[in-house]
Amino acid sequence: MSTRTSLSTITPGAGADLDKALLDQVTAAVRAAGDLLRERYTPQARGTSAEEIVTEIHANDDAVLDVLKAPLLASRPGANWAEDELAGGALPSGEWWVVDPAEGNINHVHGMPDWAVTATLVRDNEPVLTVVHLPLTGDDYTAVAGRGAHLNGAPLRVSAKTDLGAALTGTGQARPGEDEHTFRRIGSAVTQMLMNGLVVRVSVPATLQLIHVASGRMDAFWQFSDVRSGLVAGALLVAEAGGTVTDTNGNPWSLTSPDFLAAAPGIHAAAVTVLSSLAA
């Protein structure tokens, strides 16, 4: 493991061959996609029925992928494309682009500002490069394995807190239609974290909370899910910003893990104590 990171799946030198030119190409592609998504944004909600909302969500995805997929594949010849953004679990060996063309799509459709475009290069199931672009602010969160995490070129660092009682933590559902057990587990975890922490944010998407953890604005984020597109970008950013990334039992996190925890090192053990007490 790199001494700069706590993400167990990253091996020393994992990003050694990923140069600035590639990061610049990916950033340019994600920004162009973000421009298109910003043009599609309205401050009013679009759609009233579930069917209309789903139609709007798919339209956003399709429009963005039309301008994002080809440049990313061209930037890394031989890399594969993970088609299902709601899928979880391990990928076949090799390099894969794990992309969410509209991370927080439900927020975009409802006229809220918490959405982004993300692109993460995963090598043999390890995230090694990521760009998260926030079109409404123009901010770029970037990380390359072993080279740190950055916001618009400035280094990121996780929170220095050591008291869970002073911590701002967060969680949220990963996808629509989770099973009842997962919903109840989320509710129980929120209750326990409210009792042991300071404030809990329950919102979507995961990446928009994880960039706050990487930036030291939040102290931990957990999710009872393995949806890879919502976790890989934030996992790399938090790890490269000096955070600890595990499952909710404190075991090394990987794409095969059933759940996820990213935290400032000073409160990680306390967060595990709270979350691991809940039945899976």
Residues 6+ apart with CB under 8 A from 112: none
Instruction: Give the relative orientation of helices 206-215 and 232-240 as an angle to the nearest 10 degrees.
Output: 0
CA-closest candidate to residue 253, choices 3, 5, 4, 9: 9
Backbone angles phi, psi at 198, to 5 degrees: -100, -55
Give the number of other Cβ atoms within 10 Å of residue 26's Cβ.
25
Token pair 């079109």: residue: 135
Average pLDDT, the chain: 94
Q: Which residue has the tokens 């989320």?
A: 186
163 Cα distance to chain centroid: 24
* Region 88-111 average pLDDT: 97
pLDDT in tens, 233-244: 999 999 999 999
pTM: 0.94
- Output the pLDDT for position 7: 60
* Residue 263 in this model has a pLDDT that exceeds 70: yes
Q: Please report which confidence band the pLDDT of residue 258 belongs to, taking 50, 70 and 90 as the band edges.
A: very high
